[in-house]
Chain A
Amino acid sequence: MSPALAWYRRIVVGVLCLIVGGGGAVLLSVWASWYWGAAWAVLALAVLVTGWILAGLFRGSWGYTEGAEELYLTYGVFVRQLVVIPYGRMQVVDVTADLLEQALGIATVQVRTAASTADTRVVGLPLAEAVRMRDRLAARSESFSTGL
């Protein structure tokens, strides 16, 4: 996976921590006293550091390989999963990229099957690679198609 995936998560966590931590700290210092605000800021900083480390671990945990007739997908830091999706069972293959992902040049390939329980996404691929992968998967899901 591209290192941009880790940066994506870091930016999201960072911005959230900045808004919630900074805003909360200011409000708390105004309403209560300054040390409540400082405690809040420290808490936000701790969350930021944890998120920063987790983002790296998360990127490292994500992997996929395209087998002969199945897509293998592995991810998870606390709950590790290995997901096997037969090509013939794929109903829809999407490529999505939100604004931040576009800025970082990455995209998410979302694979949908008739079962809605599993989170079957390939995240953090470079856009061109994601589009190529979508086309490959779509072609294979067509050629291995067995209906529902």
Chain B
Amino acid sequence: MPGGATPAPQAPTLLPPSVGWRPPPVQRRRPEDDVTAGVFRAHWMTIPIQVVAVTLVFVALAGPILNSFGYAWVVVMTVAVVFGTLAYALPTWWYGTFGLREDHLVVHSGLVLRGSREVPLSRLQAVDVVRPLFMQVFGLAELRIEMAGGDGSAIRLRCLHRPLAERMRVAILAHAAGLPGRSPEAPEWPFYRLPFVLLLGALTFRVPILLSFIVLLMLATAGVVFVEFGVVGAILPLTLGLLRHFWGPLTRYTDYYASLSSDGLRLRYGMFQRRMQTVPPGRVQAVRVVEPLLWRALGVARVEANVAGYAGARQGDSATLLPVAPRRTAFALVNELFPESEAAYVPLVPNRSPVPSMVGVDERLFVSTRGLFCTVTEVVPVERVQAARLVAGPLSRFTGRVTVDVDTPPGPVRAEAPGREAGEARRFLDALVEYGRRARVPSAGTERWATRATLTRRPGPAGSGRPTFERPDGGADTFQENGRTDTADTSVESGTEGTGDTPGR
């Protein structure tokens, strides 16, 4: 194109720019884009929404009663309710502010009962931007900041203007990473996109769902053929169950996209409720890979995690990291979450009890695989073990079997190794404690991850590569061997079995 110095429109012809043409606006950061200073509040749209909602409810409930006194009463009372709500909503909105002060988030709330919270962002566990359908219509979003204090400690900033929520999320993550708040968002690279067909197929292809569908169909047919309305009593709970376990995940995980960035794992999903989750590095306390019976035929799995902030009522919503993914991807995610470790290389030992399970520990990870039909592989990094327990129930005197329990922050993962022999369990516990002691580096916390150098590991005691668990009878302990010894149990084919040699780490 001639005259390359002048910006030319993207026109097919080589004509000079027309008179009305202007260069496209340069995307420049405006001063109001800076969210690191000043105070912010929810979008003003919340006030009319609140007023309209309260008025509608009032008219619907009290309208018929007031109508018996006359039409004028309805109008007068409705106007009174409108102004009353306005008088409450306006100051609440005006005083409900939040803002960043250095690397603290300060949130003021309430009108009658004034509340003020100051949150150190370095303790942040996860940040979610949630947009329910109703908020999407108005272009609003909710920002959820999860702290490590359990159910009541999450901070929910509702009804924010969406660009504000996005910029706030970036600034909060930058502060949590130890960078200045004006840092741009960390780049991300794609990890996994869930095709809708796979989601639909995998959600359908499960024994309880298939059975429910078949029973539902039979009941409906019977009801239609025999004109029998009693089947409604059975159809209703079935439908509710399907809504909860089939339709719910289907709509929640539509358009699922996971990506990795230096700020951790980013998940975007949802049809009616768009969510964007960010789990910073080192915040995942434990992971489990769940493979239901029929999913193993498909070669897919589900990944769930314990994150300290996702405790309580919302943990079911947020704890799922990959709803449906190929097994390879699932374990690749586990390796991404726990760097410098390889869950598939941990040597596993089967137990000799009716319920098959395998368990293993190495320098970085505790891995246990169990379940006859639904195989569950649990992975806990040894440095994140909150407490290790040896539990001997009342029956253990007769069976000689004890359970090794690994305590993690609350979540779907409950790591344990049931049915181990007492001596073996004790050696296992000692190994777990010893590895944990070596893996916990006091300087390597998870706060301000961007400013930290690469994590260094504490060298073990001189001369011992790994703690030995020699059997008293002299034979090499099975913890040194790999897990593919005997067992025709189902868990062997789960692929987390040891490969015998742990490559040099």
Q: Do the beta carbons of A146 and B393 come within 8 Å of each other?
A: no
CB distance from A145 to the nearest CB of B (A): 6
Q: Does B391 contact A (CB under 8 A)?
A: yes
Contacting A at CB under 8 A, from B380-396, are: 383, 385-394, 396
Q: Does A59 contact B (CB under 8 A)?
A: no
Q: Does B8 contact A (CB under 8 A)?
A: no
The dominant DSSP class at the A interface is: loop
Q: Residue-by-residue, is A114-130 near B (CB-CB < 8 Å gives 1, otherwise 0)?
A: 11111010000000000
Residue of B148, B285, B385, B391 touching A86 (CB-CB under 8 A): B385
Closest to B441 in A: A146
CB distance from A133 to the nearest CB of B (A): 17
Q: Do the beta carbons of A82 and B389 come within 8 Å of each other?
A: yes
Q: Do the beta carbons of B391 and A114 come within 8 Å of each other?
A: no
Q: Which of A84, A85, A88, A113 has the most CB of B within 10 A?
A: A84
Q: With A88-B442, A115-B409, A116-B410 in contact, do A79 and B387 touch (Cβ < 8 Å)? A: no
Q: With A86-B437, A114-B386, A146-B442 in contact, do A79 and B409 touch (Cβ < 8 Å)? A: no
Q: Do the beta carbons of A146 and B383 come within 8 Å of each other?
A: yes
Q: With A79-B392, A113-B387, A113-B407 in contact, do A148 and B446 touch (Cβ < 8 Å)? A: yes
Task: Specify which chain B residues have a CB less than 8 angstroms from the CB of A117 in the assembled complex.
Answer: 405, 407, 410, 414
Q: With A83-B388, A84-B429 in contact, do A118 and B407 touch (Cβ < 8 Å)? A: yes
Task: Specify which chain B residues have a CB less than 8 angstroms from the CB of A115 in the assembled complex.
Answer: 386-387, 407-410
Q: Does A33 contact B (CB under 8 A)?
A: no
Q: Residue-by-residue, is A124-148 near B (CB-CB < 8 Å gives 1, otherwise 0)?
A: 0000000000000000000111111
How distant is the Cα of A83 from the Cα of B391 in the complex, in angstroms? 8
Report the interface size class on chain A. Answer: 20 to 34
Closest to B392 in A: A80
Residue of A84, A145, A146, A147 touching B433 (CB-CB under 8 A): A84
Q: Does B447 contact A (CB under 8 A)?
A: yes
How distant is the Cα of A86 from the Cα of B390 in the complex, in angstroms? 15
Contacting A at CB under 8 A, from B138-197, are: 148
Q: Do the beta carbons of A120 and B387 come within 8 Å of each other?
A: yes
Q: Does A69 contact B (CB under 8 A)?
A: yes
Q: Which of A69, A86, A120 has the most CB of B within 10 A?
A: A86
Task: Specify which chain B residues have a CB less than 8 angstroms from the CB of A69 in the assembled complex.
Answer: 437
Q: Does A101 contact B (CB under 8 A)?
A: no
Q: Do the beta carbons of B446 and A147 come within 8 Å of each other?
A: yes
Q: Residue-by-residue, is B395-427 near A (CB-CB < 8 Å gives 1, otherwise 0)?
A: 010000000010111100010000000000000
CB distance from B185 to the nearest CB of A (A): 24
Q: With A70-B433, A115-B409, A148-B148 in contact, do A82 and B447 touch (Cβ < 8 Å)? A: no
Q: Does A81 contact B (CB under 8 A)?
A: yes
How distant is the Cα of A114 from the Cα of B445 in the complex, in angstroms? 15
Task: Specify which chain B residues have a CB less than 8 angstroms from the CB of A84 in the assembled complex.
Answer: 387-389, 429, 433
Q: Do the beta carbons of B383 and A83 come within 8 Å of each other?
A: no
Q: Does B305 contact A (CB under 8 A)?
A: no
Q: With A78-B394, A83-B387, A88-B440 in contact, do A146 and B445 touch (Cβ < 8 Å)? A: yes
Q: Does A89 contact B (CB under 8 A)?
A: yes
Q: Residue-by-residue, is A47-87 near B (CB-CB < 8 Å gives 1, otherwise 0)?
A: 00000000000000000000001100000101111111110
Q: Do the beta carbons of B389 and A118 come within 8 Å of each other?
A: yes
Q: Do the beta carbons of B308 and A144 come within 8 Å of each other?
A: no
Task: Specify which chain B residues have a CB less than 8 angstroms from the CB of A70 in the assembled complex.
Answer: 433, 437
How distant is the Cα of A144 from the Cα of B408 in the complex, in angstroms? 18
Q: Which of A70, A78, A115 has the most CB of B within 10 A?
A: A115
Q: Do the beta carbons of B444 and A79 come within 8 Å of each other?
A: no
Q: Does B360 contact A (CB under 8 A)?
A: no
Q: With A78-B394, A79-B394 in contact, do A144 and B440 touch (Cβ < 8 Å)? A: yes
Q: Does B264 contact A (CB under 8 A)?
A: no
Q: Does B436 contact A (CB under 8 A)?
A: yes
How distant is the Cα of A88 from the Cα of B440 in the complex, in angstroms? 8
Chain B interface residues toward A at CB < 8 A: 123, 125, 148, 285, 308, 383, 385-394, 396, 405, 407-410, 414, 429, 433, 436-437, 440-442, 444-447
- 20 CB < 8 A contacts A-B: A70-B433, A70-B437, A78-B394, A79-B393, A81-B392, A82-B390, A83-B387, A83-B388, A84-B387, A85-B387, A88-B442, A113-B386, A115-B386, A115-B408, A115-B410, A117-B410, A118-B387, A144-B442, A145-B445, A148-B446
